[in-house]
Structure 1
Amino acid sequence: MTLPTAQGESRERAAWLRVFHDAHEQARTLVCFPHAGGTAGQYFSLSAALAPDVRVLAVQYPGRQDRCAEPAFEDVALLADEIARLLAAPRPASSPVLFGHSMGALVAFETAARLEHRYDAAPAGLIVSGMQAPYRRTASRLPGDGEEAALDALLRLGGTDPAVAGHPELRAMILPALRSDFRAATAYRPGSCPSLLSCPVTAWTGRDDGLTHGDVHAWAEHTTAAFHTRDFAGGHFYLNGFPPLIVEAVRTAVTRTTGAIVRTRTRKDI
């Protein structure tokens, strides 16, 4: 068997983990996981707002945009396996905070569990948004289990521009990955890795999303550390575009789990 080269590992990491803005040496790291059908680029504005104090690594799942030639994953556990492996090696200087919305919350949670229980590299914190706690999920498979059902569901939740539905080229680009993501999310069952974390967990939701108090607060059962929750005005995609209120909430959650950011002054600062 041929071992992967350092250059090959670097290319693989760059394919999965996108960096949009420079960060300073003491920056905290925030790893962001998109929703079903989502892309790394949806975290560009958050990265711009948090830089240079927070280094955002946005996960790009296979099967979309520049990775459209690769098969999309239809298993949350396998997706988390790959991401945890890349985050664990080389071992980062400081532990990252993981942040996932909707399906991305499940992937972030499973990645956090693998980092802690398989790699002894527990994250500094976990932020989950727009998703029931794993053992509260009752989602069934989509009617027909097809691309059209996945797109209809995403449109109802407000997760994409309705104009996409009438644009054949755009539909062809997003539907295969969206269908695979919905299959992964609806088939997900926890238990592929120990699910009790030692890092703080923060759970967020939109007030009009339909999640119950119990759905959100049950995330507390997955940590032995602090638990925080908050709701925001809006529906399932309350965080779209990352308005200032959401950016500051993310910044607060990151610094609460990693400590205040102290920058070393350089000649440019003087």
Structure 2
Amino acid sequence: MHPDARSSWFWIPHPRRAPKFRLVCFAHAGGAATHFSALSTALPPDTELWAAQLPGRFVRHREPPPTSLPELVAQMTDVLRSAADPEVPMALLGQSFGGLLAAEVARQLEPGLPVLALAVLSASPPHLLTSIPAITREEVPDLLLRTDGGAQEILDSAEFRDVVLNRVWTDLELLRQVPVVERPTLRCPVHAIAGTHDSEIGTAEMAQWQQYTESVFTMNELPAPHLIASAHAAELSDIVTELLRADLATCWNNHPVHQTEGR
């Protein structure tokens, strides 16, 4: 792996000297790695957050945006495999579009690189995507207004409006490429976290993530809108921290990779 590969693909807002957990986060459609700044601050000192930086935005704005989901997932999994520390369990967390991206990255990482857990926020599971009407480019502004509290400021900006709308549209197009495969697809625990004020994704939809794991499934709710990570970072940190510690104690050593190593 090129020495700059990890730094270009993942932003680490608070590097830890000796972390016990690594939480790899994937933002919503059009979202940036900086969306997870507050969550990184709220996490305990033993948890290091990595936020995915996709091509075509912010520090990588000169690169063309991804148009192939399989290629994007392959690139991210290659970087994570190369950078993984066997002594530091890695969990994945994704919000909205990022939840589906995180799930596909986790599916490709296993079983060669065990994943401690997958946390999905405000995201429909893959098999429900086919029942959701495709959003046209003209409908993207309305979608932003429904899901992002800061969208009006962006839409009013002559400088940023088109840039952000194009990023969101590109990510939504990638959703059409999410594969619907035989379930369950993951060995790791899956934790669904829903916002009770989310106008787009209901708890009944989120609960169907249970079909995707052979392991533990949990369902949590927060009094939050669609974008939970920024609106309720402290509460989300508490939930995720408790879940990861429980997963480490109950599920991690039962993973086939660890059982093989112990023989």
Q: Is the Cα contact below 8 Å between 1:22 and 1:51 reproduced in 2?
A: no
Percent identity between matched residues is: 26
Which residue of structure 2 lines up, in the alignment, with residue 253 of structure 1? Answer: 243
Contact 1:65 1:173 in 2 (8 A): no
TM-score (norm 2): 0.86
Given candidates 80, 98, 118, the residue that maps to 1:87 is 80
CA distance in 1, matches of 2:14, 2:246: 22
RMSD: 2.2
Are the aligned partners of 2:144 and 2:151 in contact in 1 as well (CA < 8 Å)? no
Aligned to 2:258: none
Bigger CA drift: 153-162 or 79-88?
153-162
Q: Tell whether the 8 Å contact from 2:42 to 2:233 is kept in structure 1 after alignment.
A: no
1:97 to 88, 91, 113: 91
Looking at structure 2, the residues matched to 10 and 60 of structure 1 have their Cα atoms a distance apart, in angstroms, of: 16
C-alpha change, 1:57 and 1:132, in structure 2 (3 Å) is same
**8 A contact 2:19–2:48 mirrored in 1:** no
Query: What is the 5 A alignment of 1:8-23?
Result: 9-23=2-16
Q: Which residue pairs with 2:104 in the alignment?
A: 110
Gap runs ≥5 in structure 2 = 251-263
1:16-55 deviations in whole A, cap 9, x for unaligned?
1111112131431000000001000011111122152100
Residue number among 222, 225, 246 corresponding to 1:232 in the alignment? 222
Q: Could you tell me the TM-score, scaled by structure 1's length?
A: 0.84
Q: Which runs of 5+ in 1 are unaligned?
A: 1-5, 261-270
Which letter does structure 1 place at the counterpart of 2:100?
Answer: L
Q: Which residue of 2 aligns with 1:53?
A: 46
Q: How many pairs are equivalent?
A: 247
Judged with a 3 Å threshold, the aligned counterparts in structure 2 of structure 1 residues 75 and 207 are, in CA distance, closer, same or farther, namely: farther
- Cα distance in 2 for partners of 1:18, 1:184 equals 22
Alignment of 1:1-270 (within 5 A): 9-93=2-86, 94-117=88-111, 120-137=112-129, 138-143=131-136, 146=137, 148-158=138-148, 160-185=150-175, 187-191=176-180, 196-210=185-199, 211-259=201-249
| Gap change, CA 1:10 and 1:192, over 3 Å in 2 | farther
